[in-house]
Structure 1
Amino acid sequence: MRRPPGARVPYARPAALAAALMLISWQVAVDGPLLGLDREARQAVRELRHGISSTLLNHLGQALSDLGGSVPAVPVLLGGGALAAWRAHRADTHRWWLPLPAAALTAAVIPLLVVPAKAWFARPGPFGLPLAPDQWGWYPSGHTATATIAYGAAALLVGRTVGARARRHLHLGAALLSLGVGLGLVWSDYHWLLDVVASWCVGGLLLPTLARALPASRRGAGPDRATGPG
């Protein structure tokens, strides 16, 4: 049976993300030629930063980088879960409490994904200094993974309780935050570009899995009626 023109291939995006993540990880593990892209990107950013010489941009890069820390990203995720549960409870949604454990579990998963990978790859940072005994390494970017997953999951959870337009705005806002954190890290020379790209791939694989795991919102008394304000 032929697929209609323009129809989506269900697993094309996750397959592409997984392939990109495996390729980057392999190159980091063997110090392969793809890492030349990191060095070129770093040199280009340093030249641009030096050419512009903008204190405002440097402060902005720092501020964006900080948004990928556990604070504020994890509190935003937990707050998003609480807000989603409250809105679902007000709408008399079946299993209204589900966003609370979903947010907590997602918050717990982030370090479980990132920390072992950092320790295993033990990649030095952009300055090339050897890792100290108490350092995990730079690959993948923990701040980028935290921002992508935490803000993305919060948007998914709250987005289930609002209308389509507000949901699109939430998803777009989460994507822009993730993009901003990654670019801020590269601009500030805190991470290699591929560290950031790998974490975007991780988030792009995890968030759709979370979205599929969440059951469709339904009112408690009427299983066939979708919930959520207009």
Structure 2
Amino acid sequence: MSGGGRLVARDWAVLGWFQRAAAAHPALNGPAQVLSDVGNVQVAVPLLLAAVVVAGVRGRRSGLLLWWLPPLAAVLAMALVPLVVGLVKSAVARPAPGKLRLGPNGYAGFFPSGHTATSSVAVGAAALLVLPAVGRAALRRALYAAALLPAAGVGAGLVWHGYHWPLDVLASWCLAASLLSAVAAAGVVARAVAAGGRESGVGGESEVDPAV
């Protein structure tokens, strides 16, 4: 994949388009850099940790049996990002954007994009944790958009500045989708167990015998 083929040819074409657009619109370099920085660990991880705390406190106060499962799944998904990204980068050894060969120091940490994966998983998992507390459909749609736009913006900013190939970003979006699917599944399981507990009179306040 990294050496040639139809995908790489398309990658070169898309990268070239971004390079021409960046040269023609230098005023957008600043906003693109800001978007790129959203993928920094210092920005993305605190956001996720805040959502983990909020979801955990809310779930425990509600008396949910598996209140800890969605927050734990989100934390594990975030922890897997650097591990998976590092392993794939070492295995693929892709040169820097616009280059055909590795640099003189042999560094080839470009496929997939760690910043894209970090921001996508952090923002996406935070949205999934907060979603159960949002009742109105319009607000839920706004939350989906708020989670998707940063992920798209980070990827676009990274390619705009030549920090990554377009396929680096696309691969990280695929990785994030798979990890976020596990977080979403954890939420479904927790809610299903809670619903079953309410139907059977188990869980939450129903566990307390008023005669005690």
TM range, normalised to the smaller chain?
0.7 to 0.9
Alignment partners' CA distance in 2, 1:150 and 1:194? 20
Give the percent of matched residue pairs that are identical in Structure 1 and Structure 2: 41
Asked if 1:102 is matched to 2:78, the reply is no
Structure 2: gaps of 5 or more residues: 205-212
Asked if 1:93 is matched to 2:93, the reply is no
Match of 2:133 in 1: 161
Contact 2:77 2:180 in 1 (8 A): no
Q: Select which of 121, 141, 162 maps to 2:92.
A: 121
SS at 2:133's partner residue?
Answer: coil
**How far does residue 127 in structure 1 lie from its aligned partner after superposition?**
4.5
- The reply to whether residue 74 of structure 1 matches residue 74 of structure 2 is no
Structure 1 residues 199, 114: closer, same or farther in 2, change over 3 A?
Answer: same
Partners of 1:122 and 1:137 within 8 A in 2: yes
RMSD: 2.6
Residues 1:121 and 1:84: Cα distance change in structure 2 (over 3 Å): same
Q: 1:77 to 1:198 in 2, by over 3 A?
A: same
The one-character-per-residue Cα deviations of 1:60-112 (angstroms, maximum 9, x if unpaired) are: 11111111121211221121111111222333333323343223212211112
What are the superposed Cα offsets for residues 34-85 of structure 1, whole Å, 9 maximum, x if unpaired?
211122122212222222231xx11111111111121211221121111111
Higher mean alpha-carbon deviation, 65-74 vs 127-136, is at 127-136
Query: Structure 2 length normalisation: TM-score?
Result: 0.82
Q: Is the CA contact 2:39–2:116 (under 8 Å) kept in the aligned structure 1? A: yes
Secondary structure of 1:160's counterpart equals helix
Note if 1:135 corresponds to 2:107. yes
Verify the 8 A CA contact 1:80 1:154 in the aligned structure 2. Answer: yes
Distance 1:103 1:137 in 2: 25
Of Structure 1 and Structure 2, the greater helix share is in: 2
Q: Distance in 2 between matches of 1:38 and 1:197?
A: 10
Q: Does the Cα contact within 8 Å between 2:40 and 2:118 map onto a contact in 1?
A: yes
| Most deviating of 63-72 and 161-170 | 161-170
Say if 1:207 and 1:164 are closer, same or farther in 2 by CA, change over 3 A: farther
- SS of equivalent residue, structure 2 residue 162: coil
Partner of 1:148: 120
CA contact (8 A) 2:95 2:108 kept: no
Aligned to 1:222: 198
Q: d(CA) in 2 for partners of 1:78 and 1:224?
A: 33
1:173 is aligned to 146
Amino acid in structure 1 at the alignment position of 2:168:
D
- Secondary structure of 1:126's counterpart equals coil
Matched, 1:188 2:161: yes
Q: TM-score, structure 1 length as denominator?
A: 0.76
Map of 1:18 onto structure 2: none
Flag the 1:191–1:224 CA change in 2: closer, same or farther, 3 A. Answer: farther
Q: Is the 8 A contact 1:160 1:167 kept in 2?
A: no
What amino acid maps onto 1:36 in structure 2?
A
Deviation for aligned residue 1:131:
3.9
Separation (CA, whole Å) in 2 of partners of 1:151 and 1:208 = 13
| 2:209 match | none
Greater Rg over alpha carbons, structure: 2
Q: Residue 5 of structure 1 aligns with which residue? A: none
For 1:164 and 1:91, locate their aligned partners in 2 and report how far apart those are by CA, in whole Å: 20
- Greater shift, 180-189 or 199-208, is seen at 199-208
Distance apart, 1:160 and its partner CA:
2.4
Q: Which AA in structure 1 matches 2:129?
A: L
Q: Residues 136 and 53 of structure 1: is their aligned pair in 2 closer, same or farther, counting only changes over 3 Å?
A: closer
**Count of residues in correspondence between the two structures:** 198
